[in-house]
């Protein structure tokens, strides 16, 4: 195998990591035997499938070896991934989960609409499953499609506790295929996840081996001159950020898995030439965004997050933890590579579609990593000395390297107290302002908006015909001005046709959110009665993640009235993409103009992006809402939603 160029800076020990075939360990030394699950272990890559209406799942510790070193994993029925559960729409299913761990556990049925008591989130929907006990989940399936399930306790998801959940439609499936394969992508670390978390808390870029180098500096100097290169480096240093900060974890600690198999293990899905094959992709990773393609084949996307979409043909798609995509392919050659590279380009998962076992196709080299640009940052964050630069063109900054930025903060202390009386004003007249030139406002980026906090809950329902446009006005909460937030975006982008950093202009047709259309329109035709705006916030140096600058431990629940229709606005004030998962209810994504696009349960929000979706609060109870990057969730990007 040829070593990809951008892994040259990685330690050799990490480049070879994951080259073992990997799998559940059999016949280990006596010291590990006592911890082995009594449930027969399966060969990794051949995940068992359980069907029917009654299921028995056993959670236990099982030895595994993905890297040449034996480690303990958290398994379901002794396999990684856990067994694929196959159910049917309309059936009432009973799932008995027995905990043989020494700690509590849980299972969350990701994307499944069910009573909140069955949702499986300890401390919110139930108490969890104590060691030695069995909890019985029971619910009726109101939907069909590709979903998955995973632990919602501690770090168990990252240590192996996840599996696919397929719900067949009650009637004939409208998606026609001759054969199908479930493809679960995940990631594994030999390290104790809590140790990994501790390293990130101490140094947020600990695992980032794509930092700007001297070679990058000379490359910038050659293309733009010494002044431009110096200014670029000074700009990022002043912001205390890195343009390569695409992922918290990399192949320095992660091994990338396809159906529980390392790249060397080469998971293989069989087909016969001429068949139409359905691939149900599930991202069950704790941390990794995957960019998926099959060189030599077009992918026809037919389902997103378990919901049918109007077919769209692409070469590649990106999806984050929690998301699922179903695609159709029509292979004709003997073998094709399923290639899923991590967003930061430090590694990949791979498998093969083949006419028989033992075949493989060429594995493409990793793409070169691309750095975040000022378009990703929007050049509009409120950042110390850069307060006055909110909307400016950074292309003209080359000559500014030596200038005194102190004078740019003159507006930071201005008093906005007089704005408190605006809560009840008629915003209808604002509709015509959408296209106005805001460049004159550049100097206001550093102003103190804390006095505007009273506007956060204001009722915008009177903005008839202009709700979507008016929602683009930025409202930072007072709580964003604190140590848990290291940047604020004042002029976010709202485009949904951007595939994201690393995928732009790569010569391939890449799926975007703007491509997705759920047939039949929204489930609820009513317009929203009110809107809720939340900012996704963080501080990489402190490694804190939050909503509106408030970590979960200091937050209060978001209250929805049963039956109401709400527009939710998510505004990403960070430089990372967050896959946001709302439990219990569908999120109906809309275009920047307020047009219904598609129904999702997990929505990725790119850096400096502002998106909106509609929710009908039709599920009584307490629900979780969080980023599905595990360490972001555990660090505080988590809220409770109460529907009453």
What percent of the chain has pLDDT above 70?
A: 72
Which pair of structure tokens corresponds to residue 609?
A: 């992006």
Whether 66 and 20 have beta carbons less than 8 Å apart is answered as: yes
Q: What is the pLDDT of residues 94-131, one digit of tens each?
A: 999 999 999 999 999 999 999 999 999 999 999 999 99
**Average pLDDT, stretch 318-347?**
97
pLDDT of residue 209: 63
pLDDT of residue 8: 34
Query: Three-state SS for 567?
Result: strand
How distant is the alpha carbon of residue 113 from its chain centre?
A: 20
Which phi and psi (to 5°) does residue 532 adopt? Answer: -125, 125
pLDDT of residue 451: 34
pLDDT-wise least confident of 418-422, 492-496, 588-592: 418-422
pTM (two decimals): 0.80
**Average pLDDT, stretch 397-405?**
35
Domain span(s) for CATH 2.60.40.420 in the chain: 5-170, 466-643
Fold of 5-170: Immunoglobulin-like (2.60.40)
Strand locations in 305-447, DSSP E? 307-314, 316-319, 324-329, 335-342, 348-354
Alpha carbon of 254 to those of 14, 104, 164, 193, 376: distances in Å?
Answer: 9, 25, 21, 11, 26
| Cβ partners under 8 Å of residue 193, min gap 6 | 155, 158, 159, 286, 630
Q: Tell me the pairing of strands 277-283 and 92-99.
A: unpaired
User: Which pLDDT band holds residue 312 (cuts at 50, 70, 90)?
Assistant: very high
Fold of 466-643: Immunoglobulin-like (2.60.40)
How distant is the alpha carbon of residue 216 from its chain centre?
A: 29
Q: What is the pLDDT of residues 541-595, one digit of tens each?
A: 899 999 999 999 999 999 999 999 999 999 999 999 999 999 999 999 999 999 9
SS3 per-residue string spanning 65-93: ECCCCEEEEEEECCECCCCEEEEECCCEE
Strand locations in 117-201, DSSP E? 134-140, 145-150, 162-168, 179-189
Q: What is the pLDDT of residues 12-33, one digit of tens each?
A: 333 334 556 666 654 343 333 3
pLDDT-wise least confident of 86-95, 142-151, 311-320, 455-464: 455-464
Q: What is the pLDDT of residues 34-70, one digit of tens each?
A: 333 333 333 345 899 999 999 999 999 999 999 999 9
pLDDT of residue 220: 55
């Amino acid at each position: 195998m040829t070593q990809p160029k951008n892994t040259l800076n990685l330690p050799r020990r990490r480049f070879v990591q994951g080259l073992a075939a990997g799998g559940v360990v059999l016949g280990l030394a006596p010291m590990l035997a006592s911890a082995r699950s009594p449930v027969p272990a399966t060969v990794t890559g051949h995940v068992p499938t359980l069907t029917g209406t009654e299921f028995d799942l056993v959670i236990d510790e099982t030895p595994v070896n993905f890297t040449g070193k034996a480690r303990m994993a958290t398994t379901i029925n002794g396999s990684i991934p856990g067994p694929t559960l196959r159910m049917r729409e309309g059936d009432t299913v009973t799932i008995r989960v027995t905990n043989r761990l020494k700690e509590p556990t849980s299972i969350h049925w990701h994307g499944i609409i069910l009573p909140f008591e069955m949702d499986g989130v300890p401390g919110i929907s139930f108490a969890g499953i104590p060691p030695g006990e069995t909890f019985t989940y029971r619910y009726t399936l109101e939907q069909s499609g590709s979903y998955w399930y995973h632990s919602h306790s501690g770090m168990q998801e990252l240590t192996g506790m996840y599996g696919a959940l397929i719900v067949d439609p009650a009637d004939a499936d409208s998606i026609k295929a001759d054969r199908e394969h479930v493809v679960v992508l995940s990631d594994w670390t030999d390290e104790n996840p809590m140790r990994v978390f501790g390293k990130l808390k101490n140094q947020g870029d600990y695992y980032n081996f794509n930092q700007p180098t001297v070679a990058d500096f000379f490359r910038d100097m050659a293309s733009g001159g010494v002044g431009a290169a110096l200014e670029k480096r000074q700009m990022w240093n002043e912001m205390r950020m890195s343009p390569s900060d695409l992922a918290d974890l990399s192949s320095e600690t992660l091994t990338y898995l396809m159906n529980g198999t390392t790249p060397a293990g080469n998971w293989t899905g069989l087909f016969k030439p001429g068949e139409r094959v359905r691939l149900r992709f599930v991202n069950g990773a704790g941390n990794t965004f995957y960019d998926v393609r099959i060189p030599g084949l077009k992918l026809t996307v037919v389902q997103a997050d378990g919901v049918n979409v109007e077919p769209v043909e692409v070469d590649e798609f990106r999806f984050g933890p929690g998301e699922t995509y179903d695609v159709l392919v029509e292979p004709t050659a003997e073998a094709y590579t399923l290639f899923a590279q991590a967003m930061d380009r430090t590694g990949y998962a791979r498998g093969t579609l083949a006419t028989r076992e033992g075949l493989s196709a060429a594995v493409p080299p990793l793409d070169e990593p691309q750095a975040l640009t000022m378009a990703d940052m929007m050049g509009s964050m409120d950042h110390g000395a850069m307060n006055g630069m909110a909307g400016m063109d950074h292309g003209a900054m080359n000559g500014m390297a030596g200038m005194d930025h102190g004078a740019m903060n003159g507006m930071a202390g201005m008093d906005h107290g007089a704005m408190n009386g605006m809560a009840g004003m008629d915003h209808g007249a604002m509709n015509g302002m959408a296209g106005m030139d805001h460049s004159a406002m550049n100097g206001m980026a550093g102003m103190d908006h804390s006095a505007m906090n009273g506007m956060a809950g204001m009722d915008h329902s009177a903005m008839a015909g202009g709700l979507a446009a008016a929602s683009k006005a930025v409202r930072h909460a007072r709580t964003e001005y604190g140590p848990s937030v290291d940047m604020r975006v004042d002029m976010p982008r709202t485009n949904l046709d951007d595939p994201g950093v690393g995928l732009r202009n790569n010569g391939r047709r890449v799926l975007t959110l703007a491509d997705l259309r759920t047939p039949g329109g929204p489930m609820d035709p009513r317009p929203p009665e009110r809107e809720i705006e939340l900012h996704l916030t963080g501080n990489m140096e402190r490694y804190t993640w939050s909503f509106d600058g408030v970590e979960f431990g200091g937050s209060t629940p978001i209250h929805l009235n049963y039956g109401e229709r709400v527009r939710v606005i998510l505004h990403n004030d960070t430089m990372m993409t967050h896959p946001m998962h709302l439990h219990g209810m569908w999120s109906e994504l809309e275009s920047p103009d307020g047009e219904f696009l598609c129904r999702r349960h997990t929505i990725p929000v790119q850096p400096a992006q502002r998106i909106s979706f509609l929710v009908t609060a039709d599920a009584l109870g307490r629900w979780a809402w969080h980023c599905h990057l595990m360490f972001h969730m555990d660090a505080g990007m988590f809220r409770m939603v109460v529907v009453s």
